[in-house]
A and B are shown apart, each in its own frame.
Chain A
Amino acid sequence: MIEDMFQILAENGRARPEREPSLPASDLQKLYSLMATTRAADLKALKLQRQGRMGTFAPSLGHEACQVGSAFALQRKDWVFPYFRDLGTYITLGLPLKNYYLYWMGNEEGMRIPADLNIFTISVPVGSQLPHSVGCALAMKYRKEQAAVVAYFGDGATSEGDFGEALNFAGVFRTPNVFICFNNQYAISTPVRQQTAAKSIAEKATAFGFNGIRADGNDVLAMYSLTREALEKARTGGGPTLIEAFTYRMGNHTTSDDASRYRMEAEVNEWSRRDPIERFRLYLKDKGLWDETFESRVQREAEDLINKAVEEAESTPPPRPEDLFIHTYEEMTPELNNQLAELRDFLKGEPK
């Protein structure tokens, strides 16, 4: 048992009734379906990558509860600043799955976030999205909008300067931020004990003058409840919160990584006993909200969604030369026009 970890569902699916959120049965089933869809979509991506149909990407296996549970607590007016391992967050918030596949297939078009979603683009430089989330929260405060801003990041990000700077800003200005760290124990190969000498990530919040709490990141209800509470506090002027989701990266860092080089199989096996989806399935079953029929319906719906998204992504034409130029500035500069014309001329003359 991890010290001071907020949990609602034990590994065997038993809930602590005094902590259970008052969610209708349909929402509980929805949470399950979102997690199952995330896993299926993630495994599909892995398959596509191995078949050479998709580029390198960061799998979300094992993060379904912390991604889905936290995102499920968001309202449409809230903002989200993701990192690069957020498939379940996207699925929960309604970003078309096609976008996700398209981006990792190597087309910028995938990061054209639909205008009705307050989701920021992916941030690959680790931790660098945290300052953006603080600025966005300052803007909410300035405009007196009752909206909160969530930033996601991993344990490695907590060693970056931007983490310290951004959380410090948030504390000073009491911004409506919720910082959610997926502590999955590894930053590529670096274990968390080599990332920090602190007892937890959560306790770092104390130094910035606000609350931090460690949650069982494989417990979807714990993630939902804590995030909901922190969001409400943020929206009503209570300032920021840091939530550490204690979890495990069941897959490789990215598809280019081989985790067996730096971690023991026994450790992975130990964590697979704490699988977030299995735990929630046991809980639902106990409540009479899960059976084989429900399961096959969830799987079928996920498969349909995924197949359609893959088809859409794969049938999206590659960018035209001008697509690579026109978003550099609001207007094309004379020099960019010259360079585009040169590229077009070259392509015209190129032997077919």
Chain B
Amino acid sequence: MMLNMVQALNQAMHQEMEKDPRVLALGEDIAVDGGVFRLTEGLLEKFGPERVIDTPLAESTIVGASIGMAVAGLRPIAEIQFMGFIYLAMNQIIAHAARLRNRSRGRFTVPIVIRTPYGAGVKALEHHSESTEALFCQIPGLKVVVPSTPYDAKGLLIASIRDNDPIIFLEPTRLYRAGRQEVPEELYEVPLGKAKIVREGERVTIVAWGAMIPVAQQAAEIVGKDGIFPEVIDLRTLSPLDRETVLESVRRNGRLLIVQEAPKTCGLGAEIAAFVAERAMFNLEAPVLRITGPDITVPLAKGEDYYYPSPERVALGLKKIVES
């Protein structure tokens, strides 16, 4: 069936909840309203208010209660309405969800999925355009997952629900309804921790994730006219990182360009550049280049285009790195 990302995620939740009675969903406005993006539509009608829970406005307890449910054997999917509000739950995520397996020497595990829409590019209000994924990538014990297509969204969400570790599942708002794709009706998993080469190419490797994948693809189209054919890697899981796929590609192509929507300093791109420097330095024919958001607060609608990496900016970077 041709589905957009919202529909694919909705189908994944429906099907996985049908299959596994331990799976339930909680969050603000997810039940009666079906979610502010209608992503959880139909779940309440099908599974009832004990399994699809409209919660009070309390991010810390949405996550904290999910931890308690997980300890008691359930597998909750918690929704944080926008990534800009996840900071209220940071203590629960960092101090407990991520560490409980270690603190209890494996007795208690936290198989929860924290879903949240993230990223700019939709001209939203303040706090509705955040992409602070790197904050979570630094925390041992968390896994961070970002789909960029409807197919991957369904398969990654199913794999995340079935995974026995806590997962931050970031959904690029800009891609929610950006396009449809053939999505199989049946349940399937896209494995966590595995990047994917989404465009084969040579002489330069682009590493990106989430909403930067279509930007990288468009940039590749632009420079294709000049005879440059970049390879594009979609990380899909940001933590744990699939370093091997990146290293293999960089060793083959000799150049690395990272496209990151988040501010530049200490972003995930910095870690990628660092491990490539550690392990593939002598395969590089040019310095690593990062095209990122600047180190500023994400602007409101009128200024957003200055912030957001565009295909043209990436294309310029590609030309620069290939010519150097």
Given known contacts A169-B58, A329-B143, A134 and B68 CB-to-CB distance under 8 angstroms: yes
Residue among A79, A123, A131, A141 having the largest count of chain B Cβ atoms under 10 Å = A131
CB pair A134–B64 under 8 Å, yes or no, is yes
CB pair B103–A108 under 8 Å, yes or no, is yes
Scan A236-251; emit 1 where CB is below 8 A from any B CB, else 0.
Answer: 0000000000000000
CB pair A134–B108 under 8 Å, yes or no, is no
From A113, A136, A329, B72 is in contact (CB under 8 Å) with: A136
From A121, A165, A328, B56 is in contact (CB under 8 Å) with: A165
> Chain A: how many interface residues by the 8 Å CB criterion?
46
Given known contacts A128-B91, A135-B65, A135-B72, A113 and B55 CB-to-CB distance under 8 angstroms: no
List 20 extra interface pairs beyond A115-B107, A131-B92, CB under 8 A: A108-B105, A112-B104, A121-B100, A123-B96, A131-B65, A132-B67, A135-B66, A135-B70, A136-B68, A136-B71, A138-B53, A139-B68, A142-B24, A142-B50, A149-B68, A165-B58, A165-B60, A173-B53, A329-B141, A336-B240
A residues within 8 A CB of B95? 124-125, 128
A271 at the interface (CB under 8 A from B): no
- The bracket for how many chain B residues form the interface is 35 or more
Residue among B67, B68, B96, B107 having the largest count of chain A Cβ atoms under 10 Å = B68
CB distance from A199 to the nearest CB of B (A): 26
Given known contacts A121-B108, A135-B72, A333-B240, A161 and B65 CB-to-CB distance under 8 angstroms: no
Closest 3 CB pairs of A and B: A131-B64, A135-B68, A135-B65
B residues within 8 A CB of A166? 61, 64-65
A residues within 8 A CB of B103? 108, 111, 121-122
B102 at the interface (CB under 8 A from A): yes
Scan B146-184; emit 1 where CB is below 8 A from any A CB, else 0.
Answer: 000000000000000001110000000000000000000
A residues within 8 A CB of B107? 112-113, 115, 121
14 contacts between A and B (CB under 8 A): A79-B72, A112-B106, A112-B107, A120-B108, A121-B100, A121-B104, A122-B103, A135-B69, A162-B61, A162-B64, A166-B61, A166-B65, A329-B141, A329-B165
CB pair B55–A169 under 8 Å, yes or no, is yes
Q: Is the interface of A mostly helix, strand, loop or mixed?
A: helix
A-B pair count, CB < 8 Å, reads 140
CB pair B193–A130 under 8 Å, yes or no, is no
Scan A331-352; emit 1 where CB is below 8 A from any B CB, else 0.
Answer: 0011110000000000000000
From B24, B92, B108, A128 is in contact (CB under 8 Å) with: B92
B residues within 8 A CB of A81? 68
B74 at the interface (CB under 8 A from A): yes
Chain A residues proximal to chain B, CB less than 8 Å? 79, 81, 108-109, 111-113, 115, 120-125, 128, 130-143, 149, 161-162, 165-166, 168-169, 172-173, 327-330, 333-336
CA distance A340 to B173 in the complex (A): 38
Residue among A109, A137, A333 having the largest count of chain B Cβ atoms under 10 Å = A333
CB pair A125–B105 under 8 Å, yes or no, is no
B residues within 8 A CB of A123? 96
Q: For residue A117, which residue of chain B has the nearest CB?
A: B107
Given known contacts A115-B107, A169-B61, A132 and B68 CB-to-CB distance under 8 angstroms: yes
A residues within 8 A CB of B91? 125, 128, 162
Given known contacts A142-B74, A162-B60, A132 and B65 CB-to-CB distance under 8 angstroms: yes
CB pair B68–A335 under 8 Å, yes or no, is no
CB pair B100–A330 under 8 Å, yes or no, is no
CB pair A161–B60 under 8 Å, yes or no, is yes
Q: For residue B74, which residue of chain A has the nearest CB?
A: A139
B73 at the interface (CB under 8 A from A): yes
CA distance A130 to B56 in the complex (A): 15
CB pair B64–A335 under 8 Å, yes or no, is no
From A130, A329, A334, B243 is in contact (CB under 8 Å) with: A334
